[in-house]
Structure 1
Amino acid sequence: MRRVVFVKALMWSLALLAAAPASAEIRIMQSPGGQVGPFLDLFEKVRESGDRVVIDGPCLSACTLVLSIVPGERICVTKRAVLGFHAARSVDRSGRFYAEPEASEAVLQAYPGPVRNWISRHGGLSSRLLLLKGRELAAIYPRCR
């Protein structure tokens, strides 16, 4: 079942790309995240396309990798935008999560400085989901017009 949810989330992300108008804008309206690899591939394509990214809702977990891949000057946020960060983790064969401290550190270092600083001020990456939104988010990324 977990795989079905992931596939649906990824297909939704790909549908956003496919439905994007020629005006070069990608809109993230709701992404719960998922496995890192497909998000890296997706956001690499967005970066290469030159498209602008509008974060217009929850962008959680692996979705936040967009901040590390797409240049910051091509990202804007709406009032509905929420970024959710947590430590990297994997799932063992019995379905239990376990921490991936080295991957967490690599991801943290890949985020832009202001995002890294915000995460550090809020206790760092852990199993707890940190939510960046509202004025704090608008202080880092511009509001979309």
Structure 2
Amino acid sequence: MLETVGQRIKRLRKTKNWTQEQFAVRVNVSSQKVSNWERDYTPPSVEDVAKIAEICDTTSDFILTGRTEDQSSTEKKTANEGTSSSISELAKTISRAFHDFDSLPDDEKEFLLEELPETAKWKLEEFRKHKARVLEQNKKSGK
């Protein structure tokens, strides 16, 4: 069975021997939010994933996908510089997913649909329907 984002967050927290309350203070969220993440009720925001990665000495990629990569000594040296860029790229990708999903290459669509939690997939579909309705209304009204 694959480990979920919530399970990875819980494992990272427990590795540091932090309670949910201690972890919440470090991430600057409520302990209820941490509990919801760990039970996979709600996904963490991009900003929260970045903060969790920072305080747990890991990557956003690991938190979201569980994937790790062995880094060479050169990569280790530039890892901190790349973290901001990776987070920025992740935020851009998520933003594009919600605003320009239909124009994404098929491999990006497939990746996003596999990785996004079910609630996010539902929200994406609702947003796409809403966007289509607005475009149709604008078309009818000549805007």
TM-score (structure 2 length as normaliser): 0.28
Higher strand share: 1
Higher helix share: 2
Q: Which of structures 1 and 2 has the bigger CA Rg?
A: 2
